[in-house]
Chains A and B, each alone.
Chain A
């Protein structure tokens, strides 16, 4: 099956620094990648949709200058949390879709997540 990886799996940083999280589709080309964040015992919240070669589309309430997304290739999207603060501490998860048959729903394959802790 399709595999999505994330790196790093855990990161601890100081307040005010920037952190980059990578999301890779290992054995397929992903036309679209999604970024979510999840708080403990809460649901996944969609942050943005990332399409290769174009600007990301952010959900309402998500600061695009705070959460920079780059989707430079069909197998890699990055999320950079700029000037991180303790309230940005969360579990960040990406997913990637592999184009399927026309008219079919593209299955989303999720990465293992990145635990960000901002001190």
Chain B
């Protein structure tokens, strides 16, 4: 069966450190993968998109990698800040028409 797995346990890190979140998928062949941020009681906000032929994408303090052999994407936040505390969701293209399938998300907490 198809699965998208993210760490269900919350990730707590210290301010200034790099946070690394994992997204693993099985039985998908996505053309692209996206990462979103979701704050409590709010809708997701788009962060980054990476295509299957791209190994790495960066945007300011964010970096995403995509390994189609391992079927894994890593999401990094460098120099993390308390304001980065949120739930981060990965999403795969679900076979066209811009449909997305989301992972369960990982809650990140950056502590002072």
Contacts and interface: CB of A to CB of B under 8 A. Distances in A.
A joins B in a complex: yes
A43 B103 contact: yes
26 contacts: A4-B43, A32-B97, A34-B98, A34-B99, A34-B100, A41-B104, A42-B104, A43-B89, A43-B103, A43-B105, A44-B89, A45-B102, A46-B101, A49-B97, A93-B44, A95-B43, A97-B98, A105-B49, A105-B93, A108-B98, A108-B100, A109-B46, A110-B46, A112-B42, A113-B41, A115-B41
Interface in A1-19: 4, 6
Interface string B47-76: 001000000000000000000000000000
A32 B103 CA distance: 22
B28 interface: no
Which label, helix, strand, loop or mixed, suits the secondary structure of the A interface? Answer: strand
Among A4, A34, A108, A109, the one with the most B-chain Cβ atoms within 10 Å of its Cβ is A108
Interface string B24-52: 00000000100010000111111001000
B46 A111 contact: no
B46 A113 contact: no
Contacts of B99: 34, 46, 49
A93 B41 CA distance: 10
Interface residues of A, number: 25
Contacts of A63: none
B41 A110 contact: no
B94 interface: yes
Q: What size tier do the contact residues of chain B reach?
A: 20 to 34
A113 B42 contact: yes
A43 B102 contact: yes
Nearest to B94: A46
B100 A46 contact: yes
A2 to B, nearest CB: 10
B46 A44 contact: no
A108 B89 contact: no
Nearest to B42: A112
A112 B104 contact: no
Nearest to B8: A41
